[in-house]
Structure 1
């Protein structure tokens, strides 16, 4: 097929990742998909000629490198990379341990960097490619009590993606940061979202946020994951794609609240801001 693409997707065993795999296979594209256990993927998508399931620890660079090599061997090229693997962490900065915080950064940030570092030689050789880095509206606006570390990981994704976009542009490679709002996936399920081992009840706003996300928001998110995935697939064929793609009306609205707040601070304190140079 002339327009057939080869995709490499991390974190593909559930949520947006799994929906993306299914839609791509249904339209005839080829997919190499990673999970902590490829057997989980093979149970869902069995014996499909365009599908390669890979067991990958994205924190292990040799593991990532081997997965990309297997994908190249199987399909001959990679056109679209989706760094989707990640998980939520809900707790105040004080109560989250260093180990809990570092683990979230290792998966959400350094896992994606491992993929980018090892796939770039192939994309550069092709002089083409597209990298989608899945962030969050929490990577653009961090005013969510209890989500500080998670937001920090997604802010990091936004930052390195903006630099990456400039670095790879000369090689014909596009980069888009995808920032979803609330979508009805398993993201907020108890087996998906992590909370601190040592919780401090004094943080009432954090406990309230935890209760709201797990008991009220979970299962009632306004975003349709199938539509989000369809938007990403459509974007992969746009000639001049955006660097930032916000998904969901809630993400759209929160982005403008953040931009307006920054603009207000800039103008209110402009005199102080610009008075700090040498006269």
Structure 2
């Protein structure tokens, strides 16, 4: 039996993690601002929702208080907000709202640090704990993105992973940063890989591929350390 906590799990990749990672008997705590559409899937997995706005400083304390002494085996920080016009043709960094910049950094970076800090006591109780940060190919060197705040936050997530790994290795806790390219989040996980391949022909990554990566790493022994995985779409425009 494993205990998971998955951040940003009400839709998209986070929802795919909730559906595809746990097995019957496992417990999953889902952290999001809005309640997931389907909490009960009749698969023997116990799912619990923690309502939290990660832009707020008190979110980490709220989450930790809900879990108290629960053992956490798998921690997944799958959170990433970006500039409101970031992926539009008319995007212009010089027009970014300073308040939006602060929110991007708070949610993508600051909250990642404070949440893992508050939950390390729970992770230390596990015999083989794994921490995952979901980054982006936009956080890699030589990317062509002009979204400065989003890119900075994803570069920062890699730095968090590196330093945290050094801090927790004495406890046998693994820390992995996964940097995917564009993911086909618009096609539900249960619709399967073939639908994605047919629709996008290698330009977007199926949710199942990222779920499979996490599942592989989380099942490795505590003797193995997978630091970072970069996974652009085969025919995508990402790095």
**Counterpart Cα distance in 1 of 2:106 and 2:32:** 16
Name the counterpart of 1:223.
205
**Counterpart Cα distance in 1 of 2:41 and 2:3:** 17
Tell me: CA distance 1:224–1:148, structure 2 relative to 1, closer, same or farther (3 Å).
same
Deviations 1:44-101 (A, max 9, x none): 123866111110122334332232332346xx31111001122232143322122121
Matched, 1:77 2:71: yes
Larger radius of gyration: 1
**Counterpart Cα distance in 2 of 1:103 and 1:83:** 16
Aligned residue pairs total 216
Name the counterpart of 1:99.
99
SS in 2 for 1:31: strand
Tell me: CA distance 1:144–1:112, structure 2 relative to 1, closer, same or farther (3 Å).
same
Q: Residue 19 of structure 1 is aligned with which of 16, 35, 41? A: 16
Q: Residue 45 of structure 1 is aligned with which of 39, 42, 46? A: 39
Q: Once superposed, what is the RMSD of the aligned Cα atoms? A: 2.6
Deviations 1:83-134 (A, max 9, x none): 1122232143322122121111111111211211101122235465211011
Matched, 1:10 2:7: yes
Q: TM-score, normalised by structure 1?
A: 0.69
Indicate conservation of the 8 Å contact 2:2/2:22, yes or no.
no
Name the counterpart of 1:31.
28
Indicate conservation of the 8 Å contact 1:142/1:148, yes or no.
no
Tell me: CA distance 1:251–1:57, structure 2 relative to 1, closer, same or farther (3 Å).
farther
**Counterpart Cα distance in 2 of 1:176 and 1:35:** 22
Deviations 1:219-259 (A, max 9, x none): 7442101221122112101231310012244499965xxxx
Indicate conservation of the 8 Å contact 1:133/1:177, yes or no.
yes
Indicate conservation of the 8 Å contact 1:24/1:30, yes or no.
no
SS in 1 for 2:58: helix
Of 98-107 and 59-68, more deviation after overlay is shown by: 59-68
Name the counterpart of 1:123.
123
Q: List aligned pairs for 1:193-208, cutoff 5 A.
A: none
Of 171-180 and 137-146, more deviation after overlay is shown by: 137-146
Name the counterpart of 2:192.
none
Indicate conservation of the 8 Å contact 1:92/1:148, yes or no.
no
**Counterpart Cα distance in 2 of 1:92 and 1:57:** 27
Query: Which has the larger share of helix?
Result: 1
Q: Residue 64 of structure 1 is aligned with which of 51, 60, 72? A: 60
Q: TM-score, normalised by structure 2?
A: 0.80
**Counterpart Cα distance in 2 of 1:24 and 1:182:** 21
SS in 2 for 1:87: coil
Indicate conservation of the 8 Å contact 1:35/1:55, yes or no.
yes
Gap regions ≥5 residues in structure 2: 188-198
Gap regions ≥5 residues in structure 1: 188-218, 256-279
Name the counterpart of 1:87.
81
